[in-house]
Amino acid sequence: MPDIVKLGFAPLVDCAIPVVAAERGFAAAEGIDLVLERSNSWAALRDKLAFGLVDGAHLLAPLALAMHQGIAGIPAVPLVVPVTLGLGNNAITLSATLHARMVAVAPAIMAGPPAKRARALQLVIEADRARGQVPLSFATVFPFSCHHYELLSWLSDGGIDTRTDVNIGIVAPPRMVESLTSGWIDGYCAGEPWNALAVARGAGLVVATKADIRPGGVEKVLALRADQVTPHRDRTVALVRAMVRAANWCHDPANHGALARLLAEPCYVGQPAELIAATLVKAEAAKAEDCRPDLVQAQQLVADMMRAGQLAPDTMPDANMLAALWTPAYHDLAQGTFNAG
C-alpha cells in the first residue's frame, strides 16, 4: 500500500508544486498517497503543522525557521526543509486612491524604478501629517514572512519610519482584496493571485514586486516535521523526488494552461484560471536546481529577522541548528536516483 503523507498549503499560486505532485501522479509514482489540506491563514497552517495534524506544509520560509527556533508563538517544533518551492511572486499593491495621490505628488518618482517609489509615498505621508490625519495602514500575510521583510525594506528605502509613520498589520492572503476594497488598509504585500485580483477589480495597483525589491530571494519551502523525516528516510527522498519532477512540469510554459486550470479549482486557489495564468507568465517558477535548499538562504532570513526585531543576538540560531533544518541532503539523494526520462 502507498504511504500516506498529509501536507498543508495556503491558497496561493506558489502552492503549485505540491498540488501538481498530487494531481499529476508524481507522488503516486513514488508510492506516496499525497493528501493536501488547505488553510486560509498562515496561523492556522502553523498550528496544524505544530500539532501534527499534517506531516508537512507548503510554508513561508521564515516561518519554518521561526517554528524550529520556537519564536513563532508556539513551542519549538523540530522541522526539516528538504525542498524550496519557488523564488516567489510577491508584490506590493496600493489602493487606487493612494496610488493616484503618489502619482500626483511625485510623477517622476512613480515613473522611475519601482524599488524607489516609496519616496513618493513618503511625501504623501508628510502631507497627511501636516493636516493631522491618521497614519496610513498596510498589511502583510504574517510577521515571519518574506512579504513582511520586503514591505519593511521598500518603505524604509523611501525614508519611511515603519514604527511610527505607518501602521502595519496582518491579514490572511484571501482577505487582502476585501480589506483594501473596504478601506481597512491602504496597501499590502502578498503573493499571487491576490495582487492580480485587486488590479482586475480596479481596487488597487501594483507598485513594486519581489523581483524589484529582492530578486531571486527564497519564498516558500516544503517544511516537514522532523519526527516524520528521521524514521522515514526513503519516503522523504521519494517525496522530494516527486516534488522535483512536479517543479519541472510547472516550469514548462507548455503546461501553464493546465496548471492554471488546476489551481483554479475551489479546493486549491479558487480564482479564475485566466487570472492565474497571467500571474504564471511573470512568476519566478522553480525548476529542479531551484528546489535545492541553500544554507545561504537561511542565513539571509536570519539577517531579515534580526533587522525586523524578531531575533536578538543572544537568540541567534547556531550553524548546526540551521544546517539540521535547511538541509540539501534529501534533494541530493533524490537527484542521484532521478532519471529525467
For range 314-319, the mean pLDDT: 80
Mean pLDDT value across residues 77-98: 91
Residue 207 contacts residue 143 (beta carbons within 8 Å): no
**Does residue 106 carry a pLDDT above 90?**
yes
Q: Is the pLDDT of residue 232 over 80?
A: yes
Give the end of a domain, one of 197, 213, 229: 213
In this predicted structure, the answer to whether residue 341 has a pLDDT above a threshold of 50 is no
Do both 142 and 207 map to the same domain?
yes
Residues 162, 206 share a domain: yes
Domain extent for 195:
91-213
C-alpha distance from residue 326 to each of 74, 136, 146 (Å): 20, 37, 16
> Locate cell 496561493: which residue?
12
> 220-231 in b/e burial notation, b at 16+ Cβ within 10 A?
bbbbbbeebbee
- The number of folded domains in the chain is 2
Residue 267 lies in a domain: yes
User: Band of the pLDDT at 161, cuts 50, 70, 90?
Assistant: very high
Instruction: Answer whether residue 276 shows pLDDT above 90.
Output: yes
* Residues 165, 65 within the same domain: no
Mean pLDDT of 29-36: 98
pLDDT for 43: 97
Q: Please answer whether residues 36 and 7 qualify as being in contact, where contact means their C-beta atoms are separated by less than 8 angstroms.
A: yes
Domain membership flag for residue 30: yes
Write down which residue in 187, 213, 239 finishes a domain: 213
323 and 232 assigned to the same domain: yes
**Residues of the chain above pLDDT 90, percent:** 85
Domain boundary among 213, 236, 254: 213
Average the pLDDT over 25-30 and give the result. 98
Q: Which residue has the cell 510623477?
A: 107
Do 130 and 243 sit in the same domain of this protein?
no
For residues 40 and 73, state if they share a domain.
Answer: yes
* Cell numbers found for residue 139: 498589511
Q: Which residue has the higher pLDDT, 281 or 250?
A: 250
pLDDT in tens, 112-152: 999 999 999 999 999 999 999 999 999 999 999 999 999 99
The pLDDT, as a whole number, for residue 89 is 83
Degrees (nearest 5) of the Cα angle 27, 7, 300? Answer: 105
Condensed to tens digits (0 to 9), the pLDDT of residues 178-202 reads 999 999 999 999 999 999 999 999 9
pTM above 0.75, yes or no: yes
Does one domain contain both 330 and 228?
A: yes
Q: Specify whether the CB–CB gap between 90 and 191 falls below 8 A.
A: yes
Q: What is the mean pLDDT of the chain?
A: 93
Residues 283 and 259 grouped into a single domain? yes
Give the residue-averaged pLDDT of 33-42.
97
Indicate whether 339 pLDDT > 80. no
Q: How confident is the model at residue 290 (pLDDT cuts 50, 70, 90)?
A: confident
Q: Report whether pLDDT(254) > 90.
A: yes
Q: pLDDT above 70 covers what percent of the chain?
A: 96
Give the domain CATH number at 182.
Answer: 3.40.190.10
User: Distance between CA atoms of 17 and 4, rounded to whole angstroms?
Assistant: 18
83 and 100 inside one domain? no
169/270 same-domain check: no
Q: Tell me whether residue 341 is in a domain.
A: no
Contact 217, 90 (CB under 8 A): no
Q: Is residue 147 domain-resident?
A: yes
- Cell 525589491, residue located: 213
Q: Is residue 26 part of a domain?
A: yes
Q: Are residues 230 and 330 in the same domain?
A: yes
